[in-house]
């Protein structure tokens, strides 16, 4: 019997994605990153691989890399509030306050409960003290 997975097939991207999840559970971020990237080579529109890869980079403090994959994930699935919130946090860390607030507002519209600190930042940017 032949294996139904063939290198380069979209289903093979899921195999790499699943290996990344195993490495995530094993706390092996470098291997996790490698497997997510392998999945994305085969299927650049793999939403979960883009989103999860951004999360790994955020945990490592690599915000520029995280932003790249998070923006791609949002372009594939714009309806996930957590992604918009995470992108807002990245923009905020990059001192891109307007973009951060835009993402926080979108996350809130999608049902995300923003932390008090974020609400205070949003309020102070709307009502600057002169």
4, part of any domain: no
Q: How many domains does the chain have?
A: 1
pTM of this structure: 0.83
Indicate which CATH number applies to the domain containing 40. 1.25.40.10
Beta-carbon contacts of residue 11 (< 8 Å; ≥ 6 apart): 4, 5
Residue 29: Cβ within 10 Å count: 15
Distance of CA 33 to the CA centre of its chain: 13
Note the pLDDT of residue 128.
46
Interacting residues of 113 by C-beta distance below 8 A, sequence separation 6+: none
The predicted model gives 11-27 an average pLDDT of: 93
For residue 126, what pLDDT is reported? 67
Task: Measure the CA–CA gap between 67 and 99, rounded to whole angstroms.
Answer: 12
Res. 19: pLDDT tops 90: yes
Q: Is residue 2 part of a domain?
A: no
Instruction: Please provide the average confidence, as pLDDT, over all residues in the chain.
Output: 89
Model confidence at 8, pLDDT cuts 50, 70, 90, reads: low
């Amino acid at each position: 019997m032949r294996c139904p997975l063939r290198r380069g097939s979209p289903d093979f991207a899921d195999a790499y994605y699943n290996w990344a999840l195993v490495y995530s559970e094993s706390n092996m971020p470098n291997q996790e990153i490698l497997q997510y990237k392998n999945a994305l080579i085969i299927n650049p529109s793999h939403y979960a691989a883009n989103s999860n890869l951004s999360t790994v980079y955020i945990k490592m403090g690599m915000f520029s890399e995280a932003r790249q994959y998070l923006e791609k994930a949002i372009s594939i699935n714009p309806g996930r509030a957590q992604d918009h919130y995470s992108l807002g946090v990245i923009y905020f860390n990059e001192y891109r306050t307007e973009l951060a607030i835009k993402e926080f507002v979108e996350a809130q519209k999608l049902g995300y409960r923003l932390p008090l600190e974020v609400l205070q930042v949003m309020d102070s940017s709307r009502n600057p003290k002169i």
